[in-house]
Amino acid sequence: EENGHQNKKLKKDADGQDAEDQNKKSPKRKIVLLMAYSGKGYHGMQRNVGSSQFKTIEDDLVSALVQSGCIPENHGEDMKKMSFQRCARTDKGVSAAGQIVSLKVRLIDDILEKINNHLPSHIRILGLKRVTGGFNSKNKCDARTYSYMLPTFAFAHKDCDVQEEVYRLDRETLEKVNKLLACYRGTHNFHNFTSQKGPRDPSAKRYIMEIDCGEPFVRENIEFAVIKVKGQSFMMHQIRKMIGLVIAIVKGYAAESILERSWGEEKVDVPKAPGLGLVLERVHFEKYNRRFGNDGLHEPLEWAEEEEKIAVFKEQYIYPTIINTEKEEKSMANWLNTLSIHDFNSSAVGMQTDNKNSKVTIEAIILSNESCQ
């Protein structure tokens, strides 16, 4: 028995030595990972350590990093130990085609293949680059580009009787959508487009660089369009509320003047569009690239070689999820029915009382017999 116990101990010591030798061969290095994922069924990107109730993308990522041998198990429990940082905390249900995370890992052989082997197919690591030791993906990010894919019947006027699979967006309405979206460009106070920010909070001011709605296209008999927005940074729910307010104006629930009002100190009731169509498209590191991208030691954080893989992933996992979920769950159609309960004319004083008194049931909405195609 003693000999058997001794043999087991020797084997355990030998295994431990092998692991230690492997670790010495694979020193820890600061890297960034290019991630793509479909966010349906997840409570956002950011991990809540100790809370297994709400599953996040990072739960699956950290598990794969540990199982592949890139990080020790205790680093998964305390993410600060691997200097982990994500570029953007995507909300519940939101997908990404170009998320970037920075962390310290062991640079093992075939690292991407090994990590992906332990991830579900709807989460992929598409690229890896070495970065400077002090790199932080959140702080070094200059800008973020998001897209929002939505069925175009969302822009049909509220007084029109719309058949979702027949509706097609006309040129005049698309031009109106883009004219309204253009109003967001520049720096504005977006305190009404998020929660827990007061009108005098300096952090509520955000800079929008680009925003527009592209040409419509048909998938599964439903016409969709994609709105793209590039900004320095975004607050929680900001983009969904920006799009929600434009939809409310185009549909005729709110006057165009509400946009200017929403940037003032007054509290404005801004509706929040569904999270389903929102996708983090890419993140930008222009200052970092200028300083370190051509220093002979580091690569610029650009992903031209991965563009094809990104496009394939979107076609396989992101777009079908948005389209099928919209058809099955009708998230946009159901949300549109709630626009009538918002009070777009109320001021900060007595807004809650006004809302209670002004709620209109969907059955009470009078629809004209006029066809809108």
159 three-class SS: coil
For residue 138, how many C-alpha atoms fall within 13 Å in the half-sphere facing its CB? 10
H or E element that contains 177 = helix 171-182
Q: Is the Cα dihedral 125, 126, 129, 134 positive or negative?
A: negative
Tell me if 146 is assigned to a ligand binding site.
yes
CB atoms within 10 A of CB 343: 18
What single-letter amino acid sits at 191? H
Please list, in sequence order, all residues whose beta carbon lies within 8 angstroms of the beta carbon of residue 34, skipping any fewer than 6 positions away. 98, 99, 100, 125, 126, 127, 128, 303, 306
Render 223-277 in DSSP notation, one character per residue: EEEEEEEEES---TTHHHHHHHHHHHHHTTSS-TTHHHHHTSSS--------STT
Task: Give the β-pairing of 278-284 and 95-106.
Answer: parallel
Residue 161 DSSP class: B
Q: Measured between alpha carbons, how far is 214 from 10 in angstroms, rounded to an integer?
A: 66
Please list, in sequence order, all residues whose beta carbon lies within 8 angstroms of the beta carbon of residue 62, skipping any fewer than 6 positions away. 47, 71, 76, 79
91 catalytic residue (yes or no)? yes
Render 21-62 in DSSP notation, one character per residue: HHHHHS-EEEEEEEEEE--TTSS-SS--TT--SS--HHHHHH
Residue with tokens 């169509």: 277
Which residue among the candidates 59, 91, 269, 343 is catalytic per the annotation?
Answer: 91
Q: Measured between alpha carbons, how far is 82 from 78 in angstroms, rounded to an integer?
A: 8
Q: Which residues are catalytic?
A: 91
Query: Which residues line the annotated binding site?
Result: 146
Query: Which residues line the annotated binding site for substrate?
Result: 146
